[in-house]
Structure 1
């Protein structure tokens, strides 16, 4: 049974500020006959067979073993596939984006030796995981769908599809892929992924219960550490900083090299007012696992403490890390846009996010960032549909609520503004060392609601939630409604007044004259 599992398995590992899949693929035949790895490399394979993350030292051993193997047997498609996928996961662990081109070369060599259609689905899944790691969600979807079609009974393709569909903003398709994953696989990793799906729907208690189960049933220290980090991040989003700190410290006990756990601890320490300890942790994280997202968070903590010089250094690091990642094929425009909106050029942030939107990258995170960038660029009216899209999908995010409240305040909608800023602070009182104090001041300035209740008792109905392509679908009689994310790249901006797509095609849009909007 164990050998059969090893033959057909892949491992998915949750990494970064957003969900990225690292996959170690075990092609048919591994563990059979001569040349099967031993020691730490074998442990990495066994972890993959169980659907668990490999320990960093074991993963390094696996990479070394397979580098030797492909030198000795350059025609071994399976070894090239495992090596390429191991590079992807190692890059996720270390932040070394230079491993991505090596991963692509290894995976393409595997496909050249044996095409996916001739049984090499492992390399196809690896290419999907690599595309997702680079934030090329459309390519991730394409490779994932290809692997699914070739081997629908194997679960390896479904984590890739979940992440790709989420990156494209097609949450319905992501949910269907998750449902299929649950049909063909089980265990702590599947529970952990299901927890994050529930979290995205706003089902926080269910997400917490599943995350707890995933931690309880973990069988290795690396797997336990990943599960504890997930618990810590969920606790943080609920505004429970002390609980988040406990989970992240427990994760570090299981895996002292877990830099994501250290970043989570820094976040929780800052919210608890232990700023010096938080700064220490951020320094360690950025020395050992440099990330533009982490540099931005660390810079904003320094900024909140009045350390302008230190903050400036961190903000410069954001730009440098995004530029370095871009050299290796990684799209870092979302985090760069977040930086530009608050600390640089908001109009530049809008242009970056328009590029993301046109590529079909329409997740709630991109929608929120677009709304905030438009607001910061003086276009609050254009910003509101994006803010509604971000807050209307289910995910309970203090940042999203705060951004929407400030946009509504700028538009003179005091009641909704008060409600959403208050919601942000109730969701997570310490959601940002820089913005949470601003939110409290904004709520104070808004004051109490006017006596006598609202003038309009019925309000304006539910939020408009649109990805910009509903009118086009309605005209075509709903054709393709079940086609996954196929429509994610078509904005259908013309005639969709007030929709996010229409806002994208505004005056700051780099689209050709005529205002056609993204296509």
Structure 2
């Protein structure tokens, strides 16, 4: 259900953005998700500055192979390249050069420490990411970006109060697009959408260039869509594309809005464009579920085969699977495998989205009482999520608690009646049945 799952997109991409901001060059994109490889990403128009930076650093290191700062910077570049291209083979490369940087300068090398935090976040190893972030902050307690890496690790480990404190410290040290986008996310996680929009609008106003503007437009659109306003998401996506026409994630956002507005041909075209440019698993699954909702089973199955192949590639390169893979197996594959992935994922990433994935995996395996406990934990922080409410409603329905199921289905469809082209219609049908039988 990645088409509806914005939490991974925001959370993990946020972490990566924090690590990248440590680098001694001017980053063109202050990423907020996600994720797993689902973070908003996309090159700016013209030459790719990241590829140029990588080439320049590689050339420099041929003559200065022990330059600790250059090695750390190259490692950060590789982490960003893995995310931007959906190619996890960059993660082992990043680990190699970051390890060399730390070997060359072990003491006070906060850039490499921050790079390791970003790398471990990209691989969904959040306990290790927190350890590296804490080491980096201990060396340089006045770095705003380092508090961003710290905040992001706390978030993914379910330590939301500590994440909020670290984010506030980041804002205090340097108010700007990277810190304000995190503040927006902190507000969104507790259900304060007004503050989340205000902070993201401030991030847009503080954007350093077209890619940062596109990034802010993307997440303003996310906030709109996730709260039932696809028309505004479409406007934000179009505004972002006017300033950064090659920002790939905006095509995905545009397609999500078009799907909700009944423009499915346009949505397929935009999602196909996004997948062809950057084959992010999120985009692929969104396209597959759109095809499935239209009864185009063959095309949907092809996207699901690609999704599975990508998950295997990520696993091979050290990325731990959790909520996205668990939900995919629960909805489109093997329920037992979904449960195994979700349980393992919760052990390493006790984030609200992983609680929801475990709840749903337990449900499809007929273990609804356990599922309800996990669904309650997913909703406890206050996040306004139509998907979470839908999952809990169906669990409650299976348990025979029709009153609670009606309440959660109503909440889901009130928050966002378009949350999924596959499951929003199911939610409406279930609510109608429950009202009729009441």
TM-score (norm 1): 0.77
Deviations along 1:195-250, whole A, 9 cap, x unmatched?
Answer: 11100110001111111121122231111111111111111111100100111121
Q: Structure 1 245/97 Cα, relative in aligned 2: closer, same or farther at 3 Å? A: same
Q: Structure 1 271/26 Cα, relative in aligned 2: closer, same or farther at 3 Å? A: closer
2:272 matches 1:283: yes
Q: Which residue is equivalent to 1:425? A: 413
Q: Which residue is equivalent to 1:226? A: 215
Q: Structure 1 437/201 Cα, relative in aligned 2: closer, same or farther at 3 Å? A: same
Give the match's secondary structure for 2:181: helix
Q: Which residue is equivalent to 2:12? A: 19
2:152 matches 1:172: no
Q: Which residue is equivalent to 1:365? A: 353
Q: Which residue is equivalent to 1:490? A: none
Give the match's secondary structure for 2:88: coil
2:26 matches 1:46: yes
Whether the 8 Å CA contact 2:21–2:27 is kept in 1: the answer is no
Which segment drifts farther, 149-158 or 52-61?
Answer: 52-61
Instruction: Give the CA deviation at 1:18.
Output: 4.5
Whether the 8 Å CA contact 2:321–2:341 is kept in 1: the answer is no
Deviations along 1:16-64, whole A, 9 cap, x unmatched?
Answer: 464321433667xx6xxxxxxxxxxxxxx23479999984712221111
CA RMSD of aligned residues (A): 2.1
Instruction: Give the CA deviation at 1:186.
Output: 1.0
2:378 matches 1:390: yes
Whether the 8 Å CA contact 1:25–1:122 is kept in 2: the answer is no
Q: Aligned equivalents of 1:51 and 1:278: distance in 2?
A: 24
Which segment drifts farther, 299-308 or 183-192?
Answer: 183-192
Structure 1 residue runs without a partner (length 5+):
1-13, 31-44, 451-519
2:236 matches 1:256: no
2:432 matches 1:444: yes
Q: Aligned equivalents of 2:437 and 2:175: distance in 1?
A: 50
Give the match's secondary structure for 2:48: helix
Q: Select the residue among 317, 334, 338 that pairs with 1:345.
A: 334
Q: Which residue is equivalent to 1:10? A: none
Q: Which residue is equivalent to 1:121? A: 110
Q: Which residue is equivalent to 2:103? A: 112
Q: Aligned equivalents of 1:375 and 1:47: distance in 2?
A: 43
Q: Aligned equivalents of 1:19 and 1:272: distance in 2?
A: 28
Q: Aligned equivalents of 2:124 and 2:418: distance in 1?
A: 28
Whether the 8 Å CA contact 2:20–2:77 is kept in 1: the answer is yes
Structure 2 residue runs without a partner (length 5+):
1-6, 33-40
Instruction: Give the CA deviation at 1:449.
Output: 8.9
Q: Aligned equivalents of 1:331 and 1:159: distance in 2?
A: 22
Q: Which residue is equivalent to 2:67? A: 76
Whether the 8 Å CA contact 1:367–1:389 is kept in 2: the answer is yes
Higher relative contact order (CA 8 A, sep 6+): 2
Query: Comparing both structures, which one devotes a greater share of its residues to helix?
Result: 2
Whether the 8 Å CA contact 1:16–1:260 is kept in 2: the answer is no
Q: Select the residue among 42, 52, 55 that pairs with 1:61.
A: 52
Instruction: Give the CA deviation at 1:349.
Output: 0.6
Matched length? 418
Q: Aligned equivalents of 2:30 and 2:391: distance in 1?
A: 41
For the pair shown, which has the larger CA radius of gyration, 1 or 2?
1
Q: Structure 1 51/425 Cα, relative in aligned 2: closer, same or farther at 3 Å? A: closer
